[in-house]
Amino acid sequence: MPTEILMPALSPTMEEGKLAKWLVSEGDAVRAGDVIAEIETDKATMEVEAADDGKLDKILVPEGTEHVAVNQPIALLLTDGEDQSQAAAPTSPLGGEDAAQRAAGEGARTTIESTSPSPHPSPRWGEGGERTQAAANDTSPHRGEGAARELGESLPDVEGAPAGPQVAPTEPRPEAEVPPGTEMVTMTVREALRDAMAEEMRSDPSVFVMGEEVGQYQGAYKVTQGLLDEFGPMRVVDTPITEYGFAGVGVGAAFAGLRPIIEFMTWNFAMQAIDHIVNSAAKTLYMSGGKMHCPIVFRGPNGAAARVAAQHSQNYASWYAHVPGLKVIAPYTAADAKGLLKAAIRDPSPVVFLENEILYGQSFEVPKLDDFVIPIGKARVARTGRHVTIVSFSRGMAYALDAAKRLAAESIEAEVIDLRTLRPLDMETVLASVRKTNRIVTVEEGWPVCSVGAEICARVTAEAFDHLDAPPVMIAGADVPMPYAANLERLALPSVDQVIAAVKSVCYRT
């Protein structure tokens, strides 16, 4: 039987890529280790190598094809001694255990063609920028997600999968800011963020982007893709590896009247710059008697991704929501990401914009409007209900919406509120819902002590006590540094089952 060469996974979060170029043709003899194709992802360019000696029997995916799913067969290789009569139709990439076995032991090996080495290598990589064996073996936990999303099915937990709900993103209700009948387009969160920056840079010459690898490499997660080509190096500025340095330059530029967008490769690295964010950007308006504004946006991925361990998995939502003078945004959908980033860039105050690596590749409907802006400080009712209120933000919305969907099958109608903005909090929307449902559960991935959920539960208890039929319940991450091991990471983060159990407890259901 011919060997299937599969679309490899570059990282645990990769779901698809572009087959950029075939370097061999059908019928060509290849040796193990020969580079046979090039694959482009949102982070790098990969070379696909033949795993065995043989002959390339058939190319299944032509070069230039985009959105090729991980583990999809892209070619057939006849090993030495086989002939074409032995070839069989390729099996489905959703072949369950067989696909996992093929991914682990057959197909193709991958190496990285380093276009611009990352200054902060992720723990998914070994020393010297080479892939670890676990990453090189094509055992992506996301195999089969694409088809499951098309079917609207939840995905089962997979050993070694990124912690958290492996579920199709439930499409929330249309934005209240969208006029009825507006045409919608589907785009990823990554694309929505890029479009927001590009639109604001076109309309306001004082807006510029600065950070590590935002220019030539087009962003560590390709959020700034295409901006350097359109706006040039004076407005898309690559920096050295010094968060403290370029954050300070950004704050100074904002004081001088420009509107910087500072990208951190991850908010974990922004701890190097926290003095500028908290002491300079956040406090100067107050300390200057209202005379010095600081119109700056600090943005980048926040929270846990997939096995990047304690120092790269921290959730900073409550950290920055605690600081007077900052506005803090944590969107879930692509529409919110776009509309709120545009609002943040225009805001006269410093804004902390917390994205999520897992959400970058998720697709949502976005209004096709010339200038779609969402006001900062307004929550959104993502799902209406009458029995319980579930409040969340960012990736926590995946847990909340999936839990609500499953609870509906048991005749429990949950109202789900997406906070979107964490400072200022839209408590009016939360309280109005609680006065209707008389119960509340909060959901977030961060630590429970002094968390966003703890603040909401306290406010609800103080301001809507007489409307509560059960004590508020908070679902949060475990109060421990994030473990590296996949099974422990899964236990350290919330689960949909935990949300369902919490809702049943406040509804006095078993």
State the CATH number of the domain containing residue 408. Answer: 3.40.50.920
Lowest mean pLDDT, pick from 92-96, 171-175, 364-368, 459-463: 92-96
Mean pLDDT, residues 342-364 taken together: 96
Say if 71 falls within a structural domain: yes
Domain-ending residue, one of 95, 127, 149: 149
List pLDDT tens digits, range 1-50.
688 888 887 665 677 888 889 999 998 998 887 889 888 876 667 778 88
Residue 172 within any structural domain of the chain? no
Domain membership of residue 190 as a residue range: 184-367
How far apart, in Å, do the first and last CA atoms of the chain sit?
52
| Average pLDDT taken over every residue of the chain | 83
Question: Looking at the structure, do residues 317 and 237 belong to the same domain, yes or no?
Answer: yes
236 and 313 part of one domain: yes
| 3-state SS, residue 86 | helix
Q: Is residue 372 part of a domain?
A: no
Per the annotation, the verdict on 243 as an active-site residue is yes
Concerning whether 312 is annotated as a catalytic residue, the answer is yes
Mean local confidence (pLDDT), 235-244: 96
Same domain, 132 and 264: no
- Residue 342 and residue 392 in one domain: no
Query: If you average pLDDT over residues 413-436, what whole number do you get?
Result: 97
Residue range 399-422: average pLDDT?
97
- 360 and 228 within one domain: yes
Bridge pairing between strands 421-423 and 184-188: unpaired
Cα radius of gyration (the chain): 24
The residue among 338, 367, 396 that closes a domain is: 367
Split at pLDDT 50, 70, 90, the class of 155 is very low
Shared-domain flag, residues 263 and 356: yes
Q: What is the pLDDT of residues 457-502, one digit of tens each?
A: 999 999 999 999 999 999 999 999 999 998 999 999 999 999 999 9
What tens digit of pLDDT does each residue of 122-138 get? 333 333 333 333 333 33
Residues 189 and 295 in one domain: yes
Residue 169 counted as domain residue: no
In the predicted model, what is the mean pLDDT of residues 305-324?
92
321 and 265 in one domain? yes
Each residue's pLDDT tens digit, 199-214: 999 999 999 999 999 9
Q: Looking at the structure, tell me whether residues 238 and 326 fall in a common domain.
A: yes
pLDDT for residue 246:
97
Lowest mean pLDDT segment, chosen from 173-182, 309-318, 380-389: 173-182
The answer to whether residue 427 is domain-embedded is yes
Domain final position from 98, 123, 149: 149
pLDDT at position 124 is 31
Average confidence (pLDDT) over 322-342:
97
Q: Which of 16, 212, 276, 312 is catalytic?
A: 312
Same-domain pairing of 208 and 70 = no
pLDDT at 71: 81
In this structure, how many other beta carbons lie within 10 angstroms of the beta carbon of residue 104? 11
Residues 6 or more apart whose Cβ sits within 8 Å of residue 58: 2, 26, 75, 76, 87
> The whole model's pTM is what?
0.69
pLDDT at 4: 85
- Closest C-alpha among 207, 238, 271 to residue 118: 238
Q: Which CATH number belongs to the domain containing residue 313 in this structure?
A: 3.40.50.970
Secondary structure percentages of the chain, helix, strand, coil, to 5: 30, 20, 45
Q: Supply the pLDDT for residue 119.
A: 36
The burial of 170, by beta-carbon neighbours within 10 Å (0-12 exposed, 13-18 middle, 19 or more buried), is given as middle
C-alpha to C-alpha distance for 53 and 79, rounded to whole angstroms: 6
Residue 175 lies in a domain: no
Flag whether 375 is in a domain: no
- How far apart CA 434 and CA 381 sit, in angstroms, is 12
Q: Tell whether 400 is covered by a domain.
A: yes
- The domain total for the chain is 3
Q: Is the pLDDT of residue 164 over 60?
A: no
Contacts of 152 (CB under 8 A, 6+ apart): 168
Q: pLDDT value at position 150?
A: 33
| Catalytic residue from among 16, 199, 243, 365 | 243
Quick one: 16 and 133 in the same domain? yes
Tell me, yes or no, whether 249 and 117 share the same domain.
Answer: no
pLDDT top residue among 236 and 370: 236
